[in-house]
Amino acid sequence: MIKINNLDFAYRNTQVFKNISLEFEKGNIYGLLGENGVGKTTLLKLICGLQKPQHGSVTVDGLIPSMRQPDFLQNVYFLPEEVITEDTTPEKFIQKIGDFYPHYDFALFNELMKELEVDLSKKFNELSHGQKKKALLACALSLKTDYLFLDEPTNGLDIPSKALFRKVISKYCTDESTIIISTHQVKDVENLIDPIVILDRDDVLMNASFAEIIDKIYFEYGPERLQDAYYTEMLPGGYINVMPNTEHEESNVNIEALFNAVMKNKETIKNLMK
């Protein structure tokens, strides 16, 4: 379990987090959403130990990430947004680092490379940007770490690759593993993530499962724009209205509409979800 308590963090004069508290429970695929620059990547780096909190604490299964102890590092893997690869094949790369991870599975790596349609024989620098991302995803999943952090993993992927991404993530995620996917492209991770964490500058606006969201918020698809909706968006054939779920009716979560509704009604929805 990841626990963040009263976290303060700033880059020189830019405050990123101010007294935020957050928990990520095991066995879930979290969607970490937020506008550009709110600190999604910074939060992942703090959880990975690549940055150190100025105040407050971050712990992962009781371990302090910034100490970068092997017991911690062997259970986490961070795949940054920017594709950084070595002058080698993905196979040689994973063989080089795999030994450090106790649950590393080379057969799974080969399986994932096939499933993601990446050529095993090519070096990283001979692969396209999207292919590199998929190869690195195969590497990350084959390490079978308890915690996997993916920063904007669908950036640069074509439409079929995005579908493959969703497929392998849902297929290979176990009850023991926790995946946090940071993205601002919410449609790419629809039907994959649950719960959702929405970050704002200095604040956490939402940390809720789909069940909790549906319990409090109603997504109405209809022909007209409703006055009491938090947010309304025109869709082909009508409107989607995001509204308070006063009648406790069931509806399908539209993550993009939810995100926009939260951004437009920060305090209202934050208080509603408490």
Partner 1 sequence: MNNTFNINRFGKVLKHDGLNFFPNIILALAIIWAIPVVIYLFTCLMPSDETTQLYDPFSRIDIISTLSTIMLIIAPARLYRYCNDPRKGIGYAMLPASTLEKFLSMVFYCIIVTPIIYIAGALAIDSILAIFHGPYEGFAVSYYFDRFAQINAIFDKSNVMMDESWILYYKSLSPTFAIILSAIGSLTISSIFMFGNMIFKKHKTGKMIGILILMFILFMIIIINYAVNTEVLTHQIDDKAEFVKHTVFFMMNVMFYAEIIVSALMLFGVYRKIKTQKY
Q: Interface with partner 1 includes 69 (CB under 8 A)?
A: yes
Nearer to partner 1, 80 or 244 (CB): 80
Q: Interface with partner 1 includes 70 (CB under 8 A)?
A: yes
Contact criterion met (CB below 8 Å) for 166 and 189: yes
Q: Interface with partner 1 includes 109 (CB under 8 A)?
A: no
Q: Interface with partner 1 includes 62 (CB under 8 A)?
A: no
Residue of 45, 132, 133, 144 that binds partner 1 (CB under 8 A):
45
Nearer to partner 1, 100 or 106 (CB): 100
CA atoms within 13 A on the CB side of 49: 18
Binding span for partner 1 by CB under 8 A among 17-25, 43-51, 156-164, 230-238:
43-51
Pairing of strands 2-11, 55-60: antiparallel
b (16+ CB within 10 A) / e for 160-181: ebbebbbebbeebbeeebbbbb
Q: Binders of partner 1 among 72-91, rule CB under 8 A?
A: 73-74, 76-78, 80, 82, 84, 87
- Spatial strand order in the sheet of 14-24: 14-24, 2-11, 55-60
What are the helix (H) ranges across 173-234? 210-216
Write down how long the chain is.
Answer: 274
- Binding track over 207-236 against partner 1, x by CB under 8 A: ------------------------------
Residue of 12, 62, 71, 274 that binds partner 1 (CB under 8 A):
71
CA distance 182 to 20: 17
Residues forming contacts to partner 1 in the complex (CB under 8 A) are 45, 48-52, 68-71, 73-74, 76-78, 80, 82, 84, 87, 96-97, 99-101
